[in-house]
Amino acid sequence: MMTDDITVSSLFDLTHSLAGGFLSHFTYPWQAIPHISRQICIISKSIEINYREVMPGVFIHPSAAVSGTACICAPCIIGANAQVRHGAYIRGSVLIGDNCVVGNSTELKNCILFDGVQAPHFNYIGDSILGFRAHLGAGAILSNVKGDRSEVSIRCEDCRFPTGLKKCGSFLGDGAEIGCNSVLNPGSVVGRRARIYPLVSLRGCVPEGSVIKK
């Protein structure tokens, strides 16, 4: 995977997220991670007419279906026709796009889900960005902290990109498919339409359209 393939413009169609304009200011997606919370607050001021502020800092589109058993912390935006199902835990600093699915026992923290993302069963998504129509199989985990709590780096071919972050998850390009019970280790990048098979433990960068098996 070439370094040009892990840029924001290579991974994402920015027209499929309220955060598209925000992300366009960055070369690499991990550069946006420290600014997600503030940006959600900025975006919320421009969508107040079309969204309901159901509690301070939490904006939900009227067409979204949100279970009464879901726990949602501010700041958060939940888009049109999105589904937030039983037992979902949204810990704050989360932008959920239109037509997304956040399923039972799925936990989200400091992340952007483009339109059409599905995380329907027992998923963890921390400090990550998921592109248009990316999909997580049941139990797939996007880990965001290294075991030794050291800085996360992005490794691509012979290049190493220090992120300056101790919490940095994964960046999934549009249409990426992550198989059941796979674990994406901190700083993983998956190109557009790449497929990760079930039970894979992934570290590093995966080229667009690739298939990765255990």
Please write the tens of the pLDDT for every residue from 147-193. Answer: 999 999 999 877 889 999 999 999 999 999 999 999 999 999 999 99
How many Cβ atoms are within 10 Å of 89's Cβ, its own excluded?
A: 15
The overall pTM is greater than 0.85: yes
Residue-level pLDDT at 1: 54
Q: What is the CATH number of the domain that holds 105?
A: 2.160.10.10
Q: Show the tokens assigned to 3.
A: 């370094």
pLDDT for 4 equals 73
- CB half-sphere exposure, 213, CA atoms < 13 A: 0
The DSSP letter of residue 151 is P
Q: What is the largest CA-CA distance in the chain?
A: 48
pLDDT at 159: 83
| Tokens (6 digits) for 4 | 């040009």
**Predicted local distance difference test score (pLDDT) of residue 170:** 98
Domain containing 208 equals 3-212
Token pair of 57, please? 């800092």
Low pLDDT (below 70) residues in the chain: 1-2
Per-residue confidence (pLDDT) for residue 81, from 0 to 100 = 98
- CA-based nearest residue to 26, from 6, 40, 42: 6
pLDDT at 2: 58
Whether residue 98 contacts residue 92, with contact meaning beta carbons closer than 8 Å, is answered with: no
Q: Considering its fold, how many domains does the chain have in total?
A: 1
What's the rounded Cα separation, in Å, for the pair 146 and 150? 6
Separation between Cα atoms, residue 183 and residue 105, nearest integer Å? 17
